[in-house]
Structure 1
Amino acid sequence: MKYWPVLLLSLLPLWAQALEVGERLAPWTLLDQFDQAYTFDKHAQTLLVARSMEAAKLVDAALQGQPKGYLEARHAVFLADIQRMPRLIAKMFAVPHMRDYSYRIMLDRDGRVAPRYPGAQDKVLWLQLKDGQLVAQHEYTTAAQLREALEKARP
Structure 2
Amino acid sequence: MKAAALLLLCLLSTAVLALEPGERLAPWTLLDQHDVPYTLNDETRILLVARDMDGAKLVDAALEGKPKGYLDERHAVFLADISRMPRIIATLFALPKMRDYNYRILLDHDARIAPRYPAGEGEVLWLQLEDGRLVEQKVFKEAVALEQALAAEQP
For normalisation by structure 2, the TM-score amounts to 0.96
- In 2, distance between residues paired with 1:152 and 1:56? 20
Residue 12 of structure 1 aligns with which residue? Answer: 10
Quote how far apart the aligned CAs of 1:121 are. 1.4
Residue 114 of structure 2 aligns with which residue? Answer: 114
Quote how far apart the aligned CAs of 1:26 are. 0.3
Quote how far apart the aligned CAs of 1:57 are. 0.3
- In 2, distance between residues paired with 1:122 and 1:14? 25
- In 2, distance between residues paired with 1:8 and 1:65? 48
Q: Please provide the CA RMSD for this pair.
A: 0.8
Quote how far apart the aligned CAs of 1:30 are. 0.4
Quote how far apart the aligned CAs of 1:42 are. 1.3
For normalisation by structure 1, the TM-score amounts to 0.96
- In 2, distance between residues paired with 1:26 and 1:6? 31
- In 1, distance between residues paired with 2:13 and 2:153? 32
Fraction of identical pairs, as percent: 60
- In 1, distance between residues paired with 2:107 and 2:12? 26
- Stretches of structure 1 that go unaligned for 5 or more consecutive residues are none
The alignment covers a number of residue pairs equal to: 153
Quote how far apart the aligned CAs of 1:39 are. 0.7
- In 2, distance between residues paired with 1:66 and 1:41? 24
- In 1, distance between residues paired with 2:138 and 2:52? 17
2:26 partner SS: coil
Residue 147 of structure 1 aligns with which residue? Answer: 147
Further displaced range: 14-23 or 63-72: 14-23
Residue 75 of structure 1 aligns with which residue? Answer: 75
Residue deviations 1:37-90 (CA, integer Å, cap 9, x gap)? 111111100000001100000000000000000000000010000000000000
Residue deviations 1:87-137 (CA, integer Å, cap 9, x gap)? 000011101100010100000000000000012111100000000000000
